[in-house]
Amino acid sequence: MNQSRVLQKVVVFIGHHSLLTVFGILVLSSNISFASAISDPSGDSTSHDIASASAFFDSTTMFMTATFHPGTLDPSNFAFFFSFDLDEDPSTGTQPPATFPLGGDETVQFNSLFDPSFARVNGFLTPISFGTDSFSVSVPLSILADDGQANYGLKVGNPTTEFSFIAHDTAPDSATGNPLTTPTTFIPEPSTVILAAIGLVGLAAFGWRRRKR
Rounded distance between C-alpha atoms, residue 157 and residue 168, angstroms: 5
Evaluated on CA atoms 128, 153, 86, 61, the torsion sign reads negative
Mean pLDDT of 94-115: 97
Give yes or no for residue 11 having a pLDDT over 50.
Answer: no
Q: pLDDT grade, residue 144 (50/70/90)?
A: very high
179 Cβ contact partners less than 8 Å away, ≥ 6 residues apart: 85, 90, 102, 103, 151
Mean pLDDT of 120-126: 95
Mean pLDDT of 81-86: 98
Rounded distance between C-alpha atoms, residue 154 and residue 52, angstroms: 10
Rounded distance between C-alpha atoms, residue 126 and residue 65, angstroms: 14
Give pLDDT, residue 7: 40
Evaluated on CA atoms 128, 64, 53, 95, the torsion sign reads negative
Give yes or no for residue 197 having a pLDDT over 70.
Answer: no
- Phi and psi (nearest 5°) for 35? -60, -35
Beta bridge partners of 138: 63
Give yes or no for residue 205 having a pLDDT over 90.
Answer: no
Give yes or no for residue 24 having a pLDDT over 80.
Answer: no
Beta bridge partners of 7: none
Q: Which helix (H) or strand (E) holds 81?
A: strand 79-85
Mean pLDDT of 86-93: 97
Give yes or no for residue 26 having a pLDDT over 70.
Answer: no
